[in-house]
Structure 1
Amino acid sequence: MTTFIFDVLKDLQNTNKNLSDITFILPSKRAGLFLKHQLHKVCNQTIFAPEIISIEEFVEELSGLKTVSNTELLFEFYDTYLALTPKEETDSFEVFTKWAQILLQDFNEIDRYYIPQKKIFDYLSDIKEIEHHHWSLEENQTEFIKNYLAFWNKLHSYYDHFSDALKHKNIGYQGLLYREAANSISNYIETNPNKQHLFLGFNALNTCEETIIQALLKEGLADIYWDIDASFFNNTYHDASLFTRQHKKNWPHFKAHNFKWITNNYTEKKNIATFGIPKNIGQAKYIGSLLKDLQQDNPNLENTAVILGDEDLLIPVLNSIPDGINALNITMGFPLKSIPLAWLFESLFYIHKTPAKSFYYKDVINIISHQFIRPLFFFDDIDYASKLIETIDGNNIIYLTTERLKAIAPKSVELIDLLFSNWHKSINLALKNCSDLILHIKNNLDQDKDANLLALEYLYRFNELFNELENLNSKYEHINDISTLFGIYKELLSSETLDFQGEPLQGLQVMGMLESRVLDFETVIISSVNEGVLPSGKSNNSFIPFDLKIENKLPTYKEKDAVYTYHFYRLLQRAKNVYILYNTEADVLTGGEKSRFITQLELEDIHNINHQILAPKVPVLKSEEHIVEKTEQLVNEIKAVAEKGFSPSSLTSYIRNPMDFYYQKILKIKEHDDVEETVAANTLGTVVHNTLEDFYKPLEGTFISVEIIKGLKSKIDERVTYHFKNEYKEGDITKGKNLIIYEIAKRYVSNFLDFEIKDLKSGNEIKIVAIEADNKVEITDIPELDFPVKLVGKVDRVDEYNGITRIIDYKTGRVDQNQVEIINWEDLTTDYKKYSKSFQVLTYAYMMQLMNQINLPVEAGIISFKNLSAGVLKFAKKDKSGYGAKKDVLITSETLDNFKVELKNLILEICNANIPFTEKDV
């Protein structure tokens, strides 16, 4: 295939033009690089290389001004705003930047399209007066109305003051450079009467560009080559040729000169395929698959380009590129906002946005756990970051001061100060903290430079960014608080990239749509061809209303769509293989249904379009049972657990899911204790249990009375508070949900004591036998096992109620009577949800019988603090289900003999080397 650039050079050669004398002007620097590379193909002898520049460079030369960053323009514009606005009416810099960004874009458009400034600003002001005429005619206008109308009247003075201030400093925004360049073109022609210029590959030109090019054409100092295909040019409805048709029709030059060129490349045979793929990541992965297939015939993927309609796809696409590609060029740059360091500084700015004496524990943990920060907390082989996290978790600390952080990690005082102290003393100090932090990270990474080259490159770019912030702040002094600094930081970050080093002239090319200008590739893959992305659709981020744009020939969304239509179709003109990808999942934020470009291609009926809807390959994963076979070592571990003692909770854990028992009792894996922001249910239960233990433990062996219990009520506040501090550590129980839970704990204890008093007043005798008594006993009648098996457990309360012994377990959750009743004994070890409570209380009764601590028959049951009115929920054996079933609440020798059979079977199963631990669906 030939390229547009080669065709232009060949035409110049055929017309005997001296290439060395021509200044080539192209839409981008990148196109200039490709042009320079093609020169040798048309040169038969050694020549001096011609001057090759982009249109932006040419305009900068003409204007005599230097372009400055958008961020610096905001600072300069704020100077203008302050100079023209009474002090009492001024917005803060942070508020100003919200609307000033839009106004700067409008200034840029007005200048690029050479609109008389006074005319458009007066027109805009008049429109606002008419729109709000009922405001402007009011005699007693409010301050808001006055300020609103005054804003539109000031736009022209803002523009004049701002542009004059910039020109005085020899700097400007793009539009101002264009206006000045257009104003200076006559002087340029006078001083360069013989200099030849060649413009190539342009499409949509602003008025200033048209003025400049036409002036040079008129004087015979320039020629221009367009790149448009007859298929588009001859179709008056096709937006790809919207601008070139206008230029050919309206420019006087083309009444006497040929229009170069209208070509016929688009109708040549092409392989065009469109693929609908769900989600952006699906497109990225499919691009990787396509490239792998293309490698079979073209190993280095020469003359192949991946065009990203949505540039956010860059990272997933790079991660999907197949192995074996030796030459790769990425023109877009890696966005700094995607680098982990960006998240670190965003977190720091976030916690310091408003002055605070303490920091939320999650924010602290996020920062000290960051991949670049955590290594800085190592001193003398001690990981102070881990120590901080463990202390926060262990003490339930929700908010931390810098003093507390320093006390936990005394060797990290300097680092803690950098991260958490003095950010609000001054902006300069905050920026210094950022720069010093970068230096600390660099010193750590320097210990292994080869392994950290990319990370050091990140650091260098962020160091540049903070240096720029320091320079802007010292030069303009508009940043007065961290919130404003944060906003400017994000503004700078959004436009900064980390440039790649690649092979710009060979191998695979990865680029955005605008980087593809003037370039031609044999194989093209275009992603994100969806409405809202390609083309970008209706968006009007401007103060200038649509009708005023039409009146002044400013571009609207129609012209912007036509720009993307041209770029899209131009990529297809000379290509032989075209792969168009779009997202089948319409999303209002990132693009809608497939693009009209695809529909247009299908309706043209010029090429056969292979259209496919693809779905990602999803492997079928068979759900396999998680099974752990019992090895000899595992059996020995089980024996050790048996000798130490099975508790009722560990046995019910096995009933619920054998794997839970394996993890907790054999592997001894405990769940990580996270910080409890809100008091957890188990913490509430522990507090209530411990408070009742404090009250009743001293009463063991005695009959309780109403007076004794009433005496306990006065101690509720003190004991509950004590146990909350003991369990909840430094967690705050003075407000919010925690205060409610704290009050609930007190209410539970108080209600229980009231329940006890009511019982005693009814004439019942209650003697406390044991409170939280530790029980441990060996089961001697399991002859199948040749090792000791013990049971261990604490019974919450044992008492005598009118002479009958009761074994009682406290539950702070809700328990109902049917949860402590059984019909069939074998159900005890099969259904955890229904029968775990019965199993627990029967285990306690069996243990105490073995230890000769009780005389049968006895009762056993649950006291549920959420169902206290039901009293003691006694274990009962029912002879059948349904209404009227006979219940036996007394636990006799026969009851325990039946239970013992189920318990023995359960223990034998746990200890059986031939029965593996098997995951249950819980």
Structure 2
Amino acid sequence: MTSFIQDVLIDLKNKDEDFSQLIFVCPSRRSGIFLKQELSLLLNKTIFAPKIISIENFVEELSQLKTVSNTELLFQFYNTYIQITPKSEQEGLDSFSKWAQIILQDFNEIDRYLVPEKKIFDYLKAIKDLEHWSLQPNQTEVVSSYLKFWNKLNDYYTTFTQSLISQKKGYQGLLYREAFENIEAYINSTTNKHVFLGFNALNKAEETIIQELLQNDLASIYWDIDSTFIDHKIHDAGLFIRQHKAQWKYFNKTPFNWIKNYYKQQKNINVFGVPKNIGQAKAIGSILEELSTKDASLKNTALVLGDENLLIPVLNSIPETVETLNITMGFPLKAIPLASLFEYLFTLQKKNGNTFYYKDVISILSHQFIQPLFKKGSAIGIIELINKNNLVYLTKDRLLSICKEEQELLSILFSNWENNPEIALNNCFKLINTIKIQQTEDKKKNQLGLEYLYRFNTLFNEIKRLNDTYNHIKDIKALYSIYKELLSSETLDFQGEPLQGLQIMGMLESRVLDFETVIISNVNEGILPSGKTNNSFIPFDVKIENNLPTYKEKDAVYTYHFYHLLQRAKNVYILYNTEIDTLVGGEKSRFIKQLELEGIHDINHKILTPKVPNFNNQPASIIKTDAVITILKKIAEKGFSPSSLTSYIRNPLDFYYQKLLGVSDLEEVEETIATNTLGTVVHNTLETLYLPFIGEYLTVAKINAIKPKIDTHISNFFKDEYKEGDMTKGKNLIVFEIAKRYVLNFLNLEIKSLEKGNTIKIIALEAKVERIPLQIDELDFTIHLKGTVDRVDEYNGTIRIIDYKTGQVDQSKVSVIEWQDLLIDYTKYSKSFQVLMYAYMLYKARLVTLPLNAGIISFKNLGVGFIPFTKKTSSHSRNNETLITKDMLDLFETQLKTLILEICNPEINFIEKELK
């Protein structure tokens, strides 16, 4: 394959051009590197290298102005804004920056296309005046302010551009306008011949400059266009070059050369629909692996990423067989881990307060760059204490009191920036330096981390320089806005050999370059091409009127680049996302449809799906090893509790993790009081209130006497359980009041029962029974039972065993028909199992006599009162037994032994149950 650059150089050599005297002007600097390489291979003698320059640098030389960064332009423009706008109407930098970027982009377009600025701004002003919604002679303040903005646009532009020119600075469009003004003087001062190669879409200034040089015989231009595109009247790939051919006076007398016919040559084109971005990255890895088996160097292969966010997944998918690669796009600074740390810090400080939300604090303390700064894992200790004490909001002083050995570090992380940008920047520099000292201890291991720190230090230095120069950043919001602006444009550049191996690039970086094998990703509508985006204050019809580019021209630019990649290629792999991802994806690009409809090439179109392993969805199973049996014996010695046994019924795997391995739920901050906390508080309060009455009969007077103590006990127990959590507002205050209402309602229920003539005697509260033996003949070790019963009382002469529940319980949950059902359905029978086991243990401990009642009092269903365990003979039977007898407990004992025997049987694994 002969590349376009080779064709150009061969033509110039055949014309006996003196290469040393030529000035090559390329669309990009990257294409200049390839041009220099091809020139060295073509020439067989030593010469002084010609000047090779990008169009941007050429225009910069012509204009005699220096390009300014977007962020500095924003500051310069803000200078102009506050100079022209009355103080009472001025916005802060933060608000200003949101619309100023669009204005600057419009200024840029107006200048690049040499539109008379007054004409377009007067036109815009007239349009806005016509379309405003107020027809009254006296305009409202909103309408008046709206129109003032459009009236000032011309003043903004004039003052702004004059200020920049006086400083010998400019944005890209201004450079083009000044270059256009200086072209005549440049022509008179130069004798060098200019070679323009590989251009397509040109703005008005570029067109005029190139035509002037052509007319004065100081230039030649080489188009890289295929006859398929230029001869087709509506093919967008040839749109601009057809216009140049038709409209440039130079081509009235000079032949329009350089129309080639490569596109129709035989090509192997594969189109792959792949689900998701990661799927595309994996597919690219497979393609590269196949290609590298034929040519490990992949020296003539380009990987063009339609979406640059795919870079990291692709790099992780490149096979080891690829020997060398070169990445032309930088790694976005906003994607590196250090960016998230400063994002957390700004989130913390934007609220401008002395109290910090615990999630923000934990995000900082657990960050990968922060944890190593704390000695002996003290950061984890702080997080654990925050979770344990339910510290929803923290102050710097509270954090310092928690970890006294890290005062300096905590002060850097959590000092109030006082809405002061200078304090904020100093804190950021201190933090970067602190991390740098820690990372420097092992430079070899932390090279990448140190590079991150250097780039962020440079970024904050640039913000400091801009603020020292212009003094426009007045608060943290404005600082954050500028930080995000700089961060979005900064990249971490990769080092590589630009002329060797696989070339990974963006679409615009492929200009002028040709490759035999091309892989293009993300060929979806909304990405390639980007579609109808209009980030401008200038309406579509005004753009058309003034020959400014619209989305139509932007689409044509990408059409040219896409087809240019295919033009000389022999092997083409096009990938698109088949899935709908938020705003983009799902719909393949019109480029793919166009390739299919052209009928020039055979397209191999496939939908790829990832290889999904055929998982056998068998429930997890844990074998009972000797070590497991040893632990079970220890549990049996201490005693099985009702909750542990019902946990096994619910899911044996939960029993294994919780009781044998001791794996507990992760402790987290309870922002809102949890249900189990509410239950514990209610239980403890009732126990404390009734404690003086153990062994006594209750009276209405006794219960009325304890009512005033409810508030105090509830508060104390919430402080014990909820630690330093705030119960004075929000949902927590509601839960606090619910707890008081539960207890009060329960006491009122007792009073009503007493008033009806019932007698209640308190026998025990929170009665603990331990090491109740249970002899199972099949086991060679003793089984013990244990548990704590909320309340035992005597009601009208019958003993009651009561279990309090703060949740909703009805009679169906405390009833059983078949005894074996107790071991099968946790949801329906767990509460029956628990109360029966309490009755069994208390009877075996000789603390109660039979018959008795055992049941539930549900605080969400207090109107029902005591809900006794009921043995039903059938689902419709009315002959239900509520008194628990010796025969009942013997039948329950049989089920209990069956359950414990299964738990301790080494032949029966812990098998996971599928939970509904």
**TM tier relative to shorter chain:** over 0.9
Aligned to 1:447: 441
Aligned-partner SS, 2:553: helix
Residues 119-175 of structure 1, C-alpha deviations (whole Å, 9 max, x = no match): 11111112222223x64x633222222221121111111111000100111111000
Q: Which residue of 2 aligns with 1:897?
A: 890
Counterpart for residue 655 of structure 1: 649
* Correspondences of 1:494-509 after superposition (within 5 Å): 494-509=488-503
Aligned position for 1:80: 80
Instruction: Specify which of 880, 892, 895 is matched with residue 874 of structure 2.
Output: 880
Contact 2:334 2:487 in 1 (8 A): yes
2:41 counterpart letter in structure 1: K
Instruction: Provide the C-alpha distance between the structure 1 equivalents of 2:15 and 2:541, rounded to a whole number of angstroms.
Output: 47
Partner of 1:269, secondary structure, is coil
Preserved CA contact (<8 Å) 1:693 1:772 = yes
SS of alignment partner, residue 198 of structure 2: strand
1:688 corresponds in structure 2 to 682
Which of 209, 232, 236 aligns to 1:235? It is: 232
Deviations 1:386-411 (A, max 9, x none): 11101101111100000000001112
Describe how 1:22-171 pairs up with structure 2 within 5 A: 22-132=22-132, 135=134, 138-171=136-169
Question: What is the Cα-based RMSD across aligned positions, in Å?
Answer: 1.2
Post-superposition shift, 1:586? Answer: 3.9
CA deviation map 1:758-794 (0-9, x unaligned): 1111111111111111112432532332322211111
Distance 1:494 1:816 in 2: 59
Alignment of 1:347-358 (within 5 A): 347-358=344-355
User: Residue 532 of structure 1 contacts residue 592 of structure 1 at CA under 8 Å; is this kept in 2?
Assistant: no
Query: Cα distance, 1:425 vs. partner?
Result: 5.4
Q: Which has the larger displacement, 363-372 or 274-283?
A: 274-283
Deviates most, 363-372 or 842-851: 842-851
* Aligned counterparts of 1:679 and 1:426: Cα–Cα separation in 2: 37
Q: Is the 8 A contact 2:237 2:556 kept in 1?
A: yes
Q: How many correspondences in the alignment?
A: 915
CA 1:138–1:592 in structure 2 vs 1: closer, same or farther (change >3 Å)? farther
Q: Partner of 1:540 in structure 2? A: 534
Matched, 1:908 2:888: no
Residues 258-292 of structure 1, C-alpha deviation per residue, up to 9 Å, x if partnerless?
22310011111111111111222211111111111
Q: Deviations over 1:2-33 (max 9, x none)?
A: 10000000001111111111010100000000
**Helix, strand or coil: the match of 2:503?**
strand
- Pairs within 5 Å for 1:212-361: 212-361=209-358
After the TM superposition, list the runs of 4 or more consecutive aligned residues in structure 1 that deviate by more than 3 angstroms.
none
* 1:181 corresponds to which of 179, 193, 212: 179
The residue type paired with residue 239 of structure 1 is D
- TM-score, normalised to structure 1's length? 0.98
Match of 2:521 among 523, 527, 550: 527
**Aligned equivalent of 1:713:** 707
In 2: Cα distance, 1:109 partner to 1:613 partner = 41
Report the AA paired with residue 186 of structure 1. Answer: E
State the AA in 1 paired with 2:304: I
Q: Which moved more, 1:462-471 or 1:312-321?
A: 312-321
Distance 1:708 1:913 in 2: 54
- In structure 2, what residue type is equivalent to 1:245? R
Distance 1:663 1:376 in 2: 34
User: In 2, distance between residues paired with 1:646 and 1:593?
Assistant: 60
Q: Which amino acid aligns with 1:295?
A: S
Give me the whole-angstrom Cα distance separating, in 2, the residues matched to 1:174 and 1:717: 72
For 1:172, the equivalent position in structure 2 comes to: 170
- Contact 2:352-2:416 within 8 A present in 1 as well: no
Pairwise CA distance, 1:592: 5.6
Q: What SS is found at the alignment partner of 2:445? A: helix
Aligned position for 2:805: 811
**Superposed displacement of residue 799, structure 1:** 0.8
Could you tell me how far apart the structure 1 residues matched to 2:542 and 2:907 are? 86
Q: Go from structure 1 to structure 2 and tell me whether the alpha carbon gap of 1:917 and 1:591 turns closer, same or farther (over 3 Å shift).
A: closer
Secondary structure of the structure 2 residue equivalent to 1:888: coil
Query: Hey, what's the Cα distance between the residues in 1 that align with 2:561 and 2:229?
Result: 12
Matches within 5 A, 1:283-682: 283-378=280-375, 382-424=376-418, 426-587=420-581, 589-591=583-585, 593-682=587-676
Which residue type is aligned with residue 240 of structure 1? A
The 8 Å contact of residues 777 and 850 in structure 1, kept in 2 or not, is answered as no
**Cα shift readout 1:273-312 (whole Å, capped 9, x = no counterpart):** 1111122221111111111111111112120001111111
Letter matched to residue 153 of structure 1: N
Cα distance in 2 for partners of 1:586, 1:671 equals 36
For 2:13, the equivalent position in structure 1 comes to 13
1:737-886 superposed matches below 5 A: 737-882=731-876, 884-886=877-879
Residue 91 (structure 1) shift: 1.2
- d(CA) in 2 for partners of 1:652, 1:588: 44
Q: Distance in 1 between matches of 2:24 and 2:15?
A: 16
In 2: Cα distance, 1:63 partner to 1:755 partner = 92
Q: Counterparts of 1:732 and 1:238 in 2: how far apart (Å)?
A: 68
Structure 2: how far apart are the matches of 1:586 and 1:840?
50
Decide whether the 8 Å contact of 1:526 with 1:581 is kept in 2.
yes
Residue 599 (structure 1) shift: 1.3
**Partner residue, 2:197:** 200
* Counterpart secondary structure, 1:479: coil
Deviation of residue 499 (structure 1)? 0.5
CA distance in 1, matches of 2:248, 2:169: 32
| AA matched with 1:187 | A
Deviates more, 1:313-322 or 1:511-520: 313-322
Q: Distance in 2 between matches of 1:709 and 1:608?
A: 91
Q: Structure 1 residue 591: deviation in Å?
A: 4.4
Q: Mean Cα displacement is larger for which, 205-214 or 775-784? A: 775-784
- 8 A contact 1:777–1:847 mirrored in 2: no
1:324 deviation in Å? 2.4
CA distance in 2, matches of 1:558, 1:778: 85
Residues 783-822 of structure 1 deviation map (CA, whole Å, 9 limit, x = unaligned): 3323222111111111111111111111111111111111
**Aligned-residue offset at 1:105:** 0.4
Q: Give the corresponding residue for 1:921.
A: 914
Q: Tell me, yes or no, if structure 1 residue 702 matches structure 2 residue 693.
A: no
Task: Indicate if the aligned counterparts of 1:677 and 1:731 stay in contact, CA closer than 8 A.
Answer: yes
C-alpha distance in 2 between matches for 1:629 and 1:422? 55
Whichever residue aligns with residue 20 of structure 1, its letter is S
CA contact (8 A) 2:638 2:771 kept: no
1:451 partner SS: coil
Q: State, as a whole percentage, how many aligned pairs show the same letter.
A: 62
Inter-partner Cα distance in structure 1 for 2:642 and 2:356: 42
Scaled by the length of structure 2, the TM-score of the pair is 0.99
Partner AA of 2:468 in structure 1: S
Q: In structure 1, give the amino acid aligned to 2:505.
A: M
Q: Aligned partner of 1:205: which letter? A: L
Cα distance in 2 for partners of 1:588, 1:716 equals: 53
For residue 441 of structure 2, give the secondary structure of its aligned residue in structure 1: helix
- Secondary structure of 1:787's match? coil
* Matched letter for residue 170 of structure 1: K
